[in-house]
Amino acid sequence: MLKTLLLITLNVLLSLQLAADGRRYVWTYEYQTLPGGEAELESYTEFSHTDTDSGRLATTTLQYEYEIGMNNRFDVGIYQKFQQDSDSPIAYDGFKIRFRYRLGEKGRWAFDPLLYLEYKDNAAFDHSTLETKLILARDFDRINVAINPVLEFEFKDDETELEFEISGGISYALHPLISMGLEAKGNADEFYWGPTLSHGKNDLWFALGLLLPAKTDSGADRKFRFIIGVGL
């Protein structure tokens, strides 16, 4: 029965006809921007769980992004963030503004480069972060490889902290509408890795991923993120 349901679900997914390329990853960015004159809404849902002696601590984060393609190489996104912890109600957690610029067309370099700049702050404007990324990615037939080194500047209480992070992924296109792969992310203190599944294209797509700790002293025991995008 379960095998039959899985086959039916797969056939339904394959039968949906959508347009343009979707996202293969949920924490890692690829070499793509929204085409000029187009807009998209994206919804992010993320769960982070930590098992302790007193029970499971869970944090839910919601993000809603409105994205606009300014031209065929440059797009802008505005995010609104909300967060809920195990012992508190959901609350507004701030906003983000991000810019992406592609330096050329696919295949020009060994790994295609894209520049990423993001500013985020809370409603009180007293805890801001400036994040820069170099997005490097390349397609090898059905295989995609992407690497995102990240440099983050955090400004709080007249102090500035600098942190280096990195994320990356490798995926394989089982079908023009379905990709599966592995994704990893971390910094000097934490490192996670796990599977990623994506389906669809720019007009309608979703991607989901699960991360598990590769280091025993990582903060969360597991992280799960689901993103859905709808073209306007």
At 124 the pLDDT is 86
At 107 the pLDDT is 84
Superfamily of structural domain 2-231 = monomeric porin ompg (2.40.160.40)
Residues 6+ apart with CB under 8 A from 107: none
Print pLDDT tens along the chain (232 aa): 444 444 444 454 444 443 334 799 999 999 999 999 999 999 999 999 987 766 678 999 999 999 999 999 999 999 999 999 888 899 999 999 999 999 988 888 899 999 999 999 998 888 899 999 999 999 999 999 999 999 999 998 788 999 999 999 999 999 999 999 999 999 988 999 999 999 998 789 999 999 999 876 767 889 999 999 999 8
Cβ 69 vs Cβ 101: under 8 Å = no
At 218 the pLDDT is 66
Burial of 144 (0-12, 13-18, 19+ CB in 10 A): buried
At 155 the pLDDT is 92
pTM for the whole structure: 0.86
**What is the secondary structure of 139-169 as a DSSP string?**
EETTEEEEEEEEEEEEEETTEEEEEEEEEEE
At 17 the pLDDT is 41
At 156 the pLDDT is 84
User: Which residue type occupies 15?
Assistant: S
φ/ψ (deg, to 5) at 215: -120, 135
